[in-house]
């Protein structure tokens, strides 16, 4: 069953239209007016019922985050929108911010009402600085609107400066507080002790828009999509050897095979799900692998590779990325990333035997348990999934 | 260093002396000359009542806080795998030839610096690059060279 590109596009668009939550045009002001009359518990209930999990990649239940922050006794709390989208192969938040900034702000305001925050920040990656004028203009309008509603909530914007690790929520807080973006130990979680020591909810751009839509639809629609474990839909960033590339909102729970049929170029040998910190799925596992928390979880990065690509090259690219972006504070990640890069180079150049690869896999597994934050812990994901499925390409 | 003192004071005045304003202050000061000098870092430390080592530590953590003198315009080419697959190397070669410098260098007239960056978020339209804050996508060697003209 080979489809032409037009047939694929038609199918993808039909799929998108059926879901259509993130990019649907809505009247955010009218929604905010309504939200301000709602009971906080009711809003929390909507979010809980929806089963929404964070869309940045880690997949923490949004309800729990909000509830934890709401339960904290503090006069000062913060809402932060994590717009530090830096995972290789991810670019959906850029489009969401460009086209649906009001829905992002509204999600922040809803969260602020629920937890009792009066200040919100957007932490925007430096690479997206071209969005600043647009966002500031829209933000000022939104802030004025909130004032008119008599709702004490203001949003401000902060820019990053090219550090991938600052997408990790505790590193983001460190960065916002004027420090090196080095992750903290958890607990305490930011919801208990976050920005400037105050309870802070940090949500990804897309998560906030889903919150807006879940409240708009009173908990309905969103949970009609997806599976029991991965409810709802997700915005995917599709790139690589694909007939159709770009940003698409799709239901969770489809298999990689279904995905590849829609987007691939007919010769897909592997899909990297979740970027440089995600998992590589080889062709033989396309049918059994579900895109979602029960299979391969993802922040939405889907990179397709056809049979002309060297998996060694791809692995090296990811490992060099991790080596550069490791913040360096904990030894397993700092030294581990360097040794993985050196190690696969040494094997390729026959300076080490093929069996050395097994040692490197052990190192990656150690990094998974011994690293301080998600960056170091996740290096094992691409490393092991590529090495185990494409061993001969790494060695020869 | 009259002018650099001014920009540091201006930045601290704009954002405030609180530690949480250090990043915006560094960003504003960096923007003036496209890099942060050690003198400026010392001035920031004095103004904000922090140790110079502390400020230096923060500044050097972030890859966009250039610590060496750079050109007036900074080109950052995405080197992540998807941009590579779409011909990033040919863009680099074209720019190196057009500018007469190698990756990582600055032109003698200090107009351009050529750098690589990790994923800049345009994978579906690679190869991509930033010149300062502006994005250029779906590059060909010709388009890349043409983009330089805007800054000549």
Q: Which of B57, B63, B85 sits opposite A162 (nearest CB)?
A: B63
Q: Do B92 and B143 sit in the same domain of this protein? A: yes
Chain B residues within 8 A (CB-CB) of chain A? 18-24, 26-27, 57-58, 61-65, 79-82, 84-85, 117-126, 130, 133-135
pLDDT exceeds cutoff 90 at B47: yes
Q: How far is residue B92's CA from residue A371's CA, in Å, rounded to a whole number?
A: 35
Per-residue pLDDT, averaged over A79-83, amounts to 98
Q: B67 lies in a domain?
A: no
Q: B100 lies in a domain?
A: yes
Cβ atoms of A197 and A76 closer than 8 Å: no
Residue B143, domain CATH? 3.40.30.10
Q: Do B57 and B101 sit in the same domain of this protein? A: no
A176–B23 CB contact, under 8 Å: yes
Q: Do B53 and B77 sit in the same domain of this protein? A: no
Per-residue pLDDT, averaged over A146-160, amounts to 97
Q: How far is CA B76 from CA A86, A159, A325, B91, in A?
A: 15, 17, 16, 11
pLDDT for the residue numbered A298: 87
Q: B32 lies in a domain?
A: yes
pLDDT exceeds cutoff 60 at A123: yes
DSSP 3-state of A25: coil
Which residues of chain A have a CB within 8 Å of the CB of B126? 239
pLDDT bracket for residue B124 (50, 70, 90): very high
Q: B123 lies in a domain?
A: yes
Q: Do B121 and B88 sit in the same domain of this protein? A: yes
Per-residue pLDDT, averaged over A200-204, amounts to 98
Q: How far is CA B94 from CA A55, B72, B104, in A?
A: 38, 20, 15
DSSP percent split of chain B into helix, strand, coil, nearest 5: 50, 10, 35
Per-residue pLDDT, averaged over A348-371, amounts to 97
Q: Do B25 and B90 sit in the same domain of this protein? A: no
B20–A196 CB contact, under 8 Å: yes
Which residues of chain B have a CB within 8 Å of the CB of A325? 118
Q: Do B46 and B77 sit in the same domain of this protein? A: no
Q: How far is residue A100's CA from residue A134's CA, in Å, rounded to a whole number?
A: 11
pLDDT bracket for residue B4 (50, 70, 90): low
pLDDT for the residue numbered B3: 57
Question: Which of B29, B55, B80 best probes binding to A when mutated, by most A CB atoms within 10 angstroms?
Answer: B80
Tokens of B9: 């004071």
Residues 6+ positions from B100 with CB-CB distance below 8 Å? B107
Tell me how many domains chain B contains.
Answer: 2
Distance from the Cα of B98 to chain A's closest Cα (Å) equals 24
Cβ atoms of A89 and A277 closer than 8 Å: no
pLDDT for the residue numbered B2: 52
Q: Do B28 and B78 sit in the same domain of this protein? A: no
Q: Do B56 and B36 sit in the same domain of this protein? A: yes
pLDDT exceeds cutoff 70 at A1: no
pLDDT for the residue numbered A2: 78
pLDDT exceeds cutoff 70 at A138: yes
Distance from the Cα of A238 to chain B's closest Cα (Å) equals 7
DSSP percent split of chain A into helix, strand, coil, nearest 5: 50, 15, 35
B64–A321 CB contact, under 8 Å: no
Domain end point (choices B26, B41, B61): B61
How many of the other CB atoms lie within 10 Å of CB of A61?
15
DSSP string, B115-132: EEES--S-GGG-S-EEET
Which domain does B126 fall in, by range? 73-149
User: Scanning every residue of chain B, which has its alpha carbon at the shortest distance from the alpha carbon of A240?
Assistant: B82
Indicate the Cα dihedral angle A70, A222, A11, B83, nearest 10°: 10
Which residues of chain B have a CB within 8 Å of the CB of A126? 64
Q: How far is CA A339 from CA A61, A156, A282, A331, A356, in A?
A: 35, 41, 25, 11, 12
| Domains of chain A with CATH codes | 20-224 (3.40.50.11540), 233-306 (3.10.20.600), 311-395 (1.20.1440.230)
Cβ atoms of A390 and A348 closer than 8 Å: no
Per-residue pLDDT, averaged over A4-29, amounts to 95
Indicate the Cα dihedral angle A216, A217, A218, A220, nearest 10°: -150
A163: left (phi over 0), alpha (psi -120 to 50) or beta: beta
Q: B68 lies in a domain?
A: no
Per-residue pLDDT, averaged over A179-201, amounts to 96
**Sole residue written with tokens 């061993």:** A391
Number of cross-chain residue pairs from A and B with Cβ atoms under 8 Å apart = 117
CA atoms within 13 A on the CB side of A338: 7
Per-residue pLDDT, averaged over A5-17, amounts to 95
Q: B66 lies in a domain?
A: no
Residue B14, domain CATH? 1.10.10
Which residues of chain B have a CB within 8 Å of the CB of A125? 121
pLDDT for the residue numbered A57: 82
Q: Do B84 and B57 sit in the same domain of this protein? A: no
Q: B89 lies in a domain?
A: yes
* Mean pLDDT, chain B, integer: 95
Domain end point (choices B10, B40, B61): B61
Q: Do B54 and B99 sit in the same domain of this protein? A: no
Which residues of chain B have a CB within 8 Å of the CB of A90? 119, 121, 123
B119–A88 CB contact, under 8 Å: yes
Q: Do B77 and B55 sit in the same domain of this protein? A: no
| Range scoring the smallest mean pLDDT among A2-11, A340-349, A358-367 | A2-11
Q: Do B37 and B95 sit in the same domain of this protein? A: no
Q: B91 lies in a domain?
A: yes
A86–B23 CB contact, under 8 Å: no
Q: How far is residue A87's CA from residue A394's CA, in Å, rounded to a whole number?
A: 23
């Amino acid at each position: 069953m080979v489809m032409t590109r037009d047939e694929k596009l038609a199918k993808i668009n039909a799929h998108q239209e059926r879901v259509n939550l993130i990019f649907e045009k809505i009247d955010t002001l009218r929604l905010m007016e309504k939200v301000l009359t709602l009971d906080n518990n009711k809003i929390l209930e909507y979010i809980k019922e929806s089963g929404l999990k964070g869309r940045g990649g880690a997949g923490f239940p949004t309800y729990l985050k909000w509830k934890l922050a709401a339960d904290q006794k503090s006069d000062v709390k913060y809402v932060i929108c994590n717009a530090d989208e830096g995972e290789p192969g991810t670019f959906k938040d850029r489009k969401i911010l460009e086209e649906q900034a009001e829905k992002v702000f509204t999600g922040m305001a809803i969260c602020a009402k629920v937890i009792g925050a009066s200040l919100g920040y957007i932490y925007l990656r430096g690479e997206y600085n071209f969005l600043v004028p647009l966002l500031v203009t829209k933000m000022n309008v939104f802030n004025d609107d909130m004032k008119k509603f008599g709702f004490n909530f203001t949003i401000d914007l902060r820019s990053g400066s090219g550090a991938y690790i600052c997408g990790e929520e505790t590193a983001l807080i460190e960065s916002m507080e004027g420090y090196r973006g080095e992750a903290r130990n958890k607990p305490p979680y930011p919801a208990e002790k976050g920005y400037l020591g105050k309870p802070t909810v940090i949500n990804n751009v897309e998560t906030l828009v889903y919150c807006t839509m879940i409240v708009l639809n009173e908990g309905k629609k969103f949970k009609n999509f997806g599976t029991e474990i991965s409810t709802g839909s997700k915005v995917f960033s599709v790139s690589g050897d694909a007939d159709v590339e770009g940003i698409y909102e799709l239901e969770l729970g489809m298999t990689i095979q279904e995905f590849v049929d829609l987007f691939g170029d007919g010769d897909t040998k592997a899909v990297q799900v979740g970027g440089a910190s995600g998992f590589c799925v080889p062709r033989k596992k396309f049918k059994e692998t579900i895109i979602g928390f029960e299979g391969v979880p993802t922040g939405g990065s889907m990179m397709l590779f056809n049979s002309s690509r060297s998996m060694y090259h791809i692995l090296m690219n990811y490992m060099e990325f991790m080596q550069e972006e490791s913040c360096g504070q904990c030894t397993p990640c700092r030294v581990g990333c360097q040794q993985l890069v050196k190690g696969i180079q040494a094997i390729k150049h026959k300076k080490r035997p093929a069996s050395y690869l097994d040692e490197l896999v052990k190192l990656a597994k150690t990094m998974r348990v011994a690293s301080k934050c998600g960056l170091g812990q996740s290096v094992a994901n691409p490393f092991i999934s590529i090495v185990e499925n494409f061993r001969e390409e790494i060695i020869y | 260093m009259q002018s650099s003192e001014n920009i540091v004071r201006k930045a601290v005045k704009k954002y405030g002396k609180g530690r949480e304003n250090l990043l915006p202050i560094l960003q504003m000061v960096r923007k003036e000359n496209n890099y942060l000098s050690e003198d400026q870092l010392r001035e920031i430390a004095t103004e904000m009542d922090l140790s110079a080592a502390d400020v230096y530590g923060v500044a050097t953590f972030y890859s966009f806080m250039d610590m060496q003198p750079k050109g007036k315009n900074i080109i950052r080419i995405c080197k992540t795998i998807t941009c590579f697959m779409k011909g990033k190397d040919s863009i680099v070669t074209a720019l190196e030839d057009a500018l007469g410098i190698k990756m990582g260098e600055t032109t003698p007239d200090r107009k351009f610096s050529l750098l690589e960056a990790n994923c800049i978020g345009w994978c579906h339209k690679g190869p991509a690059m930033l010149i300062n804050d502006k994005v250029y996508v779906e590059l060909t060697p010709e388009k890349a060279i043409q983009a330089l003209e805007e800054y000549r």
